[in-house]
Amino acid sequence: MSHAVIVHLKLSDLHMGTEAEREQFFELEQQLMDALGEDGEFDGNEFGGGECVFYMYGEDADLVFRKVASVLRSSPLARGGFALMRYGDVLDGDAPEVREAL
């Protein structure tokens, strides 16, 4: 799987957010996994520095984003966030990227 969709969402503070807030993000994570289905791989999350980052991979970054976009856009947790579509291998420093505001 050579393309990536990396979703950056803001937390309520500049650190790791509250425990209750993280629980909401875990619920959103499950919704993203359900929406993605067999069209890609959900590879986890990262909390810190005032944001939650979700990592998804697949053969086609546009398809991966289309599968999860409605879940993200309907979630208040995604307001002010963005998705980064990366069209190439993670080790390819020249792979093109497109940023999509949420």
Which tens digits make up the pLDDT trace of 40-84? Answer: 999 999 999 999 999 999 999 999 999 999 999 999 999 999 999
pLDDT of 34 over the 90 cut = yes
pTM of the model: 0.94
Distance (Å, whole) CA 80 – CA 71:
15
Section 30-47 average pLDDT: 96
